[in-house]
Amino acid sequence: MSGFFEAVIDIFTSESTYINGALFAGFLAFAASGELVAERAGTINISVEGMLLGGAFTSAVGYHLTGSTIAAMAAGVLGGVIVAGVQAEMSHRLSADQFVVGLTLNILVFGLAGFLDNELEPDTELASRWEVPVLSDIPLLGQALFGQRWPFYLLYLLVPFTWWVLYRTRWGLELRSVGENPQSADVSGIDVNRRRRQSIYYAGLTSGLGGWFLIFGQIGLFEDSVVGGRGFIAIAAVIFGGWTLRGTIAGCVIFAGALSFRLSVQGLGYEVNSELLQSLPFIVTLAGMAVFAHRVRPPAALAQPFVRGLK
């Protein structure tokens, strides 16, 4: 048993744990920030997986065509937004079931990306690393937070921006009202479905960025399995966080921690059964939801489509 404790201490004192954790948490945070906005406006955007994958693929293609990481970023955003477009228009203009649309989109994007990847086989390259002077020398956390490749730093802009948009602007106020009580919002003159569509587009934007970050800030190449179900963990993070931004980021950190823990255990050479470890982050997610989900309050109109006059 002491071997196990030593292992755990090793893990928590190794820098790679934190670096991997930050990478995973960052990826989740890109997706979860947008997902939070979509859910506060009342949609469970289950196509976030497709948005991430779509953004990853289009960013790879963008780089392949132009050789520029920044162009790739724009392409990634475009990819996420296109997927968001289908979800938004079908769920909140055509009133199709948001789960069917979302799940189908995931499968469709997966198929398209795999199909086109085989045809195009885009070349990609990791973005350069930017080390922030002084801050990146902090023990344990320094490299993780300030020594990453530059796409990571976009988070330091995106998360506060999301906070500002959601809580300090009129748009955010209207979004929140639409997710809590669409009838009242409608009567007050707000176009409910339009705000919901916009919230999904926002999710597409951040997830597109997340897909781009995955390729250029973390992995360096595209494969259709590159997202691997983590979009759903982003949704879980939003629930875990009680639909607040602070809680969502905390959720991202904790779930990423579980993912990273598994990698570190293997990386440090400890012999633990790999399959069980692989399921650890998902089990942690489930446990997290079980402990917290009943105490927090979702937006009152979450997952309830709005059609005027149908109340």
Partner 1 sequence: MTEGASSQRGARLGEWLFLYGLSILAALVLSALLVESTGGAWRSVVSALIDGSLRKPARWGETLGTAAPILLVAVGTIVSGRAGLINIGQEGQLLVGAAFATYFGFLIGGPGPFNVVVILFFGVVGGALWAGVAALLKFWRNVPEVLSTLLLVTVGGQLVAYGLSQSWLLLAPLADRGNRNQVSSQLADDNRLPRPEIFGNEISFAVILAVVAAVLVSILLSRTVWGFRLRMLGRNPRAAQRSGVAQTRYGATALMLSGGFAGLAGAAMLAGGGFAFGNYQLVPGFATNIGWTGLLVALVAREKALVAIPVAFIFACLRTGSSFVGATGVEGRITDVIQGFLVLALLVPPAVMFLRDRRRSRAAATDRA
Partner 2 sequence: MQSSADGLTGAGSLVESAPAVDIRGITERFGPVTACDGVDLTLRRGRIHGILGENGAGKSTLMKMLIGLVLPDEGSICIDGVPQQIHSPLAAASLGIGMVHQHFSLVDALTVWENVALGEAGRLNPASIRNRIGEIADHYGLIIDPDARVGNLTAGLRQRVEIIKCLRRDPSILIFDEPTSVLTPEESVQLFSSLRQVVTEEGRAVVLVSHKLDEVLHATDDISIMRQGKVVDRLLAGDTDAPTLARGMVGRDVSLRSESAALGVLVIDEDGAKALDSNASPDAVPAVSSPPILTIDRATLRGPGGTPVLDDFSLELHPGEIVGVAGVEGNGQRELGDLLSSLVSLNSGSVAIEGTRVPDGRSGAMAKAGIGVIPEDRHDSGIVLDMTLAENLILVDQSRVSTGGVINQVELDDFAREMISQFGIHCSGPDAPMWSLSGGNQQRVVLARELAQHPKVLVAAQPTRGLDVGAIEYMGDRLKSAAADGVAVLLISSELEEILDLSHRIVVMHAGRIVGGMDRANVSLESLGLMMGGVAQ
Q: Which residues bind partner 1 (CB under 8 A)?
A: 44, 46, 86, 90, 94-97, 99-101, 103-105, 107-108, 110-112, 114-116, 118-119, 229, 232, 235-236, 239, 273, 275-276, 278-279, 282-283, 285-286, 289-291, 293-294, 307, 309-310
Q: DSSP character for 304?
A: -
Q: Based on CB atoms, which residue is closest to partner 1, 9 or 307?
A: 307
The residues that bridge with 129 in the sheet, in sequence order, are 149
- Residue 176, interface with partner 2 (CB under 8 A)? yes
Report what 3 binds from partner 1, partner 2, none; CB cut-off 5-8 Å by kind.
none
Stretch that binds partner 2, among 9-17, 50-58, 61-69, 168-176 (CB under 8 A): 168-176
Minimum CB–partner distance for residue 240 and partner 2 (Å)? 20
Report what 272 binds from partner 1, partner 2, none; CB cut-off 5-8 Å by kind.
none
Q: Count the neighbouring beta carbons within 10 Å of the beta carbon of residue 265.
A: 20
Report what 114 binds from partner 2, partner 1, none; CB cut-off 5-8 Å by kind.
partner 1
- Tokens for 187, please give them: 């009567």
- Residue 41, interface with partner 2 (CB under 8 A)? no
Q: Are 31 and 207 in contact (CB under 8 A)?
A: yes
- Residue 177, interface with partner 2 (CB under 8 A)? yes
Residue 129 has phi, psi (to 5 degrees) of: -90, 135
Q: Which runs of consecutive H residues, i.e. helices, occur in 13-68?
A: 15-40, 48-66
Residue 21, burial from CB neighbour count under 10 angstroms (0-12, 13-18, 19+): buried
- Tokens for 198, please give them: 């916009």
Nearest to 45 by CA among 81, 104, 113, 99: 99
Report what 111 binds from partner 2, partner 1, none; CB cut-off 5-8 Å by kind.
partner 1
Minimum CB–partner distance for residue 168 and partner 1 (Å)? 29
CA distance 305 to 287: 29
What is the separation, in whole angstroms, between the first and last Cα of the chain? 60
Stretch that binds partner 2, among 102-110, 134-142, 187-195, 228-236 (CB under 8 A): 187-195
